[in-house]
Structure 1
Amino acid sequence: MRFGGWRNLRLGRVAGIPVHVSPTWFVVAAVITVGFQPFVARTFPDLGSAGYVVTFAFAVLLYVSVFLHEVSHALAARAFGLPVRGITLHFLGGHTEIERDAPTPGRDLLVSAAGPAVSLALGGLALAASIPVTADIPEYLLRVLAAANIVVGAFNLLPALPLDGGHMLRAAVWRFTGDEHRGTRVAARAGQVLAVLVLAVPFAVAGGRPTTFGLLWGVLVAFMLWSGATQSLAVGRMRARLPDLDPRRLLRRAVAVPPELPVSEALRLARERGARSMVITNSAGAPTALVNDAALAAMPEERRPWVPASDVARPLRSGMVVGVDMRGEDLLRAMRHELTSEYLVVDEQGRMLGVLAASDVDAALAGR
């Protein structure tokens, strides 16, 4: 598993859900440890270099809180029957990978609200726990942890994708308009607006003269918001096209060829019959392999009369066969079980109708 090109480290499982941490977390832990040390030094001037231990402890406690925030999303999703692939902690916080969206706006709202609710609850608990504590450093850690969780919870409630509040806004628009895709568009555009506003925060806080650390943090958060909102828009457009994803409309006409037929002859036969794909069949006429477009294109023309068509074909496996009645998400789910470039499309009786190219499906989802 990867995040941003880094290979993630597996920590274990919670309620059967895999938990990973990105190596980028260690980068952020170092930034927090060094960046917040001056604040600790002003509060506890006698600590010296031991102040780094305090700031590192805060970084660890903060990410424990982030972990609990993500676990709440995962458990809420599981409670509604939504499969959860895993939880990943990374430099921007955390991410819970839920296999599919909630089927109703009400469930979507509850799954989204679970994380901020836990963050705000943790903030309240940490603040309450700090009251009877008399030791200076534990009290300080509890109070800054309370403040951090309250800020994280409140920030996540902002109605803008990819924040939890954006998902809640999406669910609300979906509920009142009956249009899930309109909800996505509204919340994603709000996310782009918020990203621009975040860039102004370091200037507003510092009276027009932001620190380098504040400016970099603002740019990083704005980039995260803009990227997430833009990706949500793209995914929303793709999901809007899912109902039109129909093998009947996308399949390529195919010609059956025997395995020993030279590639050049197979291509000639395909041209004569107006076919764009070729299926290898056995002596009984049953399909056994699909000619791979990439392998065919890579073969030099002078070799084609001497190479049998079976040499540029992939053996047909059960996952490479899709029914003509599969549409939308059902079709994509079937394709995900066997990732390949070509699929054989069959009718209800198992008879070959043609070939579905993954590139054609991608183009349809992209609106090309």
Structure 2
Amino acid sequence: MDDSGDSGRPQPGAGGTAPGTDPDSGKPKRPAEPGGGLLMGRPFGVPVYVAPSWFVVAALITWVFGGQLDRVLPELGGARYLVALFFAIAFYASVLVHELAHTVAALRYKLPVRRIQLQFFGGVSEIEKESETPGREFVLAFVGPLLSLVLGGVFYGAMQLVEPGTVPGVLLAGLMISNLIVAAFNLLPGLPLDGGRMLRAVVWKITGKPMSGTIAAAWVGRGLAVTVLIGLPLLTHTGALGGSAQDIGGVETVMDALLAAILAGIIWTGAGNSLRMARLREHLPDLRARTLTRRAVPVESATPLSEALRRANEAGARALVVVDGQGNPKGVVREAAIVGVPEHRRPWVAVSGRAQDRTDGMKGPAELAGEAVLDRLKASLATEYLV
């Protein structure tokens, strides 16, 4: 970061670099669109992406549900896989509604949402800021499972209007059950699940410390991961989830163990990430823009590069801030841009030719601290900032 001073005229300050630089031109790269798959739309202004892993799970659901349809509706023949594919799409549409509930609640509380992504095990709403109160945190987490429960009720009501044992009846029954399972699973009290965020809010409210809530919910989440890893294969093997234990073959046992391992890994990793992010946020008040800076010197745009470097060396500075005739900062000359100019040509090259323009978003007060520093960096990606 480079200090522009309080009066608008640059003072000897500091400079630094940030990721996102084109190594050839020395200019910042254009910030990439927050992706993660195929863009499906922007409801409420939030991009919705379908991750490549979704197509894997959609194919798996189509295959499994198609096999079940063969037992329930054998007259469908090969068409059962088209019906199963429709079920997979409808199920993930329900998951999208679940995530949109989180998104709408976040936007209602003025919390920015980066994107929604549908992926292998459901969906995720990437909310960029923490809730300000435990009550808001609880509501923000609860609305997702609540919408899944509502959808389960809607599909149950629709089942009463169609003949059982038909394609619509089977589809509606599957969607009802799947939404109830999504709601029940997400209500489990461990991070990164919605129930874990609700537990975090409760502990936060009782203790008055959000970090205490995060620690409690994260460790419960890790306990859930171990329970899933061990318990899910045991339940399936003993026939507790339906069917006879004698009907379970070796392939099914391996698949159940693999599914349990993947699910447990996701929960364990999510709980750990939540804990690490909470600890990072706990130290954010110690983050100050001034401590990230390095010394810089102001030079006018027509100043030869060699003369600018002489002044910088005398001042012990490692950055050049280009200013206009009134001393207003206009750009920064990076070290990489200087290295590209041979020493014998530097007296003939003006600093303006090697400078990067600064926009308003790349300037800020040196008193910026905590999350405000991160917000400024995310709002305008650059290699240096004037402070």
| TM-score grouping bracket, smaller chain normalisation | 0.7 to 0.9
Q: What is the distance in 2 between the residues matched to 1:143 and 1:94?
A: 22
SS class of match (1:133): coil
Paired position in structure 2 for 1:183: 213
Which of 309, 320, 331 aligns to 1:278? It is 320
Percent of aligned pairs with the same residue? 43
* Contact 1:157/1:166 (<8 A) preserved: yes
In 2 relative to 1, CA 34–162 (structure 1 residues): closer, same or farther, beyond 3 Å?
same
- Measured against aligned partners, the alpha-carbon deviations of 1:199-226 in whole angstroms (never above 9, x if no partner) come to 2244213328653433333233233223
Paired residues in the alignment total 341
**CA positional deviation for 1:56:** 1.5
**CA positional deviation for 1:302:** 4.9
Paired position in structure 2 for 1:338: 380
- Measured against aligned partners, the alpha-carbon deviations of 1:167-219 in whole angstroms (never above 9, x if no partner) come to 11221121111112232233233333333332224421332865343333323
- What is the one-letter code of the residue matched to 1:64? A
Q: What is the distance in 1 between the residues matched to 2:309 and 2:262?
A: 53
106-115 vs 322-331, which deviates more?
322-331
SS class of match (2:364): strand
Q: What is the distance in 1 between the residues matched to 2:89 and 2:357?
A: 50
In 2 relative to 1, CA 303–333 (structure 1 residues): closer, same or farther, beyond 3 Å?
farther
SS class of match (2:211): helix
Paired position in structure 2 for 1:53: 82
1:323 maps onto 2:365 in alignment: yes
Q: What is the distance in 2 between the residues matched to 1:294 and 1:191?
A: 46
Q: What is the distance in 1 between the residues matched to 2:329 and 2:285?
A: 29
Paired position in structure 2 for 1:365: none
Q: What is the distance in 2 between the residues matched to 1:83 and 1:194?
A: 29
**CA positional deviation for 1:85:** 4.3
1:157 maps onto 2:199 in alignment: no
- 1:246-257 matches, cutoff 5 A: 246-257=288-299
Q: What is the distance in 2 between the residues matched to 1:63 and 1:288?
A: 49
**CA positional deviation for 1:268:** 4.6
Q: What is the distance in 2 between the residues matched to 1:272 and 1:233?
A: 47
1:73 maps onto 2:102 in alignment: yes
In 2 relative to 1, CA 183–287 (structure 1 residues): closer, same or farther, beyond 3 Å?
same
SS class of match (2:111): coil
Relative contact order higher in (CA < 8 Å, ≥ 6 apart)? 2
**CA positional deviation for 1:108:** 0.8
* Contact 2:192/2:218 (<8 A) preserved: yes
Which of 156, 159, 165 aligns to 1:127? It is 156
SS class of match (2:74): coil
**CA positional deviation for 1:308:** 4.3
Q: TM-score, normalised by structure 1?
A: 0.81
175-184 vs 264-273, which deviates more?
264-273
- Measured against aligned partners, the alpha-carbon deviations of 1:79-108 in whole angstroms (never above 9, x if no partner) come to 333344443333322222334222111011
Q: What is the distance in 2 between the residues matched to 1:273 and 1:323?
A: 22
Stretches of structure 1 lacking an aligned partner (at least 5 in a row): 346-368
- 1:8-47 matches, cutoff 5 A: 8-13=38-43, 15-47=44-76
List structure 1 segments (4+ residues) > 6 angstroms apart after TM superposition: none
Greater fraction strand: 1
SS class of match (1:327): coil
Paired position in structure 2 for 1:140: 170
* Contact 2:191/2:274 (<8 A) preserved: yes
* Contact 1:9/1:23 (<8 A) preserved: no
Paired position in structure 2 for 1:220: 262
Q: What is the distance in 2 between the residues matched to 1:157 and 1:211?
A: 27
* Contact 2:50/2:118 (<8 A) preserved: yes
Q: What is the distance in 2 between the residues matched to 1:145 and 1:284?
A: 67
